[in-house]
Structure 1
């Protein structure tokens, strides 16, 4: 049901199903049994360039799945993307319900627009930067909980490495570059990662100066996800809640605001210069 602000399904965080994780384990066991050589876990581990204990934990459903393992298993067993697809489902189902929908939309998007007001968007975060952000956001979380959250966040970036990555446009508030939310070395590495992302032909990163005019999206960050049918939704987040705006009128208003931001932002080249300058200040 859509409220008068056009926001659908604003919910608190909740646990998600682990069914895809069980299926992954079962399919791996089955693939070994049906393979002509009937390889042992040790053999599969050797072919996949991982450890036997990793394969054992994955098959028992008790350990994390390394991000590069699904693709390796598809190559080993010639399963035409089966394990990669299951891994994407696992990643999506590891998020609360509203985030599951967002992850599905993001994974299938042909275009992604990001307005980041306070932190680097999760889609572009490095491991150490994400770890610092998540730790600050939940200081009582265990190391295992933080590590899992980091893995889930980084897994989202698989969409950028796909054969047909989406077009990505990012507008960062200048404060994102100047706010030291992680140790200096981690901040420098994160800024270097932004430059690497901006070098991709399908990605542009622009910086909105601190003295830019006020705008509709002043009080929150937002993601614009465009599906293959060219329908766009807007994803917004607040403290421990998230929402997906799909009412056409409100989407159009948000898109106009985003276009205004883009018009106010520095050029891609000048933005890269500013990121480089800030990175050098951290040496």
Structure 2
């Protein structure tokens, strides 16, 4: 029987690699848990590899080839599946984001990527690296806008964002850029494309004061939590951790303004920026 063909890097290599992994595992008569034991990972992680929501690490590919007797297929194709225009610490999260059916996120300091305008994204990227070339900044901004295209679908993914008031009041890129950015968020909310709530300063201490939070749910894979810091990021699939962070997000929602009051505040701030009044 001929073995699997090497993957074409131009055709969603991670999804194809996941499909090949499922096929090879089932051909060997192994469950996800059984294969996970051979790879020193959980069965849940194997399921996420098969669904394409997690990246196959180069050190794991030879183990898979050995366990499934696939004649080096996964080692040869691992690099094709790993190619991404995003930084290494964010690439896996960005690709998982593209397959998520529901995304819940708390943004403490800036408007998150999926809600950014090109001008806002450019200002953020320039702040990240003041010495980068214009070509580099443009490339980063294009990558951010590519993620924004997820919202081009009328209903998927469901995006529920809790914005800290600090993210709305930190003038990023100038007042005109902020006015455009907040009008953009308000328009998405009024079109019922996203759910947006504002966590006001008056809420005081809250359960996510240590940083940003993102939870992602999928149609055929377990949910994930993504933690992000300066130049670093980590995906977590531990069920207990996911439940804990979902509870934390629910507490944030309970402390935030209602959708209606949040929209009023966002639009008021947008008008303030438009008229160059001090918020």
Q: Which TM-score band (shorter chain)? A: 0.5 to 0.7
Cα 1:118–1:266 change in 2 (3 A) is same
Measured after TM superposition, the shift of residue 231 of structure 1 is 2.5
Q: 2:198 aligns with which of 173, 191, 207?
A: 207
The answer on whether the counterparts of 2:207 and 2:252 sit within 8 Å (CA) in structure 1 is no
CA distance in 2, matches of 1:164, 1:267: 21
Measured after TM superposition, the shift of residue 168 of structure 1 is 0.9
Measured after TM superposition, the shift of residue 230 of structure 1 is 6.3
Q: Which structure 1 segments of 5+ residues have no match? A: 1-17, 24-88
Measured after TM superposition, the shift of residue 219 of structure 1 is 1.4
SS for the counterpart of 1:211 is: helix
RMSD: 2.3
Superposition TM-score, scaled by structure 2 size: 0.67
Measured after TM superposition, the shift of residue 201 of structure 1 is 2.6
Cα 1:186–1:92 change in 2 (3 A) is farther
Cα 1:220–1:137 change in 2 (3 A) is same
Measured after TM superposition, the shift of residue 91 of structure 1 is 12
- Correspondence 1:162-173 to 2 at 5 A: 162=153, 164-173=155-164
The answer on whether the counterparts of 2:212 and 2:227 sit within 8 Å (CA) in structure 1 is yes
**Other-structure match for 2:46:** none
**Other-structure match for 2:39:** none
Measured after TM superposition, the shift of residue 103 of structure 1 is 1.8
Q: 1:194 aligns with which of 185, 200, 217?
A: 185
Superposition TM-score, scaled by structure 1 size: 0.66
Q: 1:177 aligns with which of 157, 168, 183?
A: 168
**Other-structure match for 1:137:** 128
**Other-structure match for 1:276:** 267
Aligned residue pairs total 200
Whether 2:117 is the aligned partner of 1:126: answer yes
- Correspondence 1:48-197 to 2 at 5 A: 93-162=84-153, 164-197=155-188
Measured after TM superposition, the shift of residue 136 of structure 1 is 0.7
Give the number of the structure with larger relative contact order, counting CA–CA contacts within 8 Å between residues 6 or more apart. Answer: 1
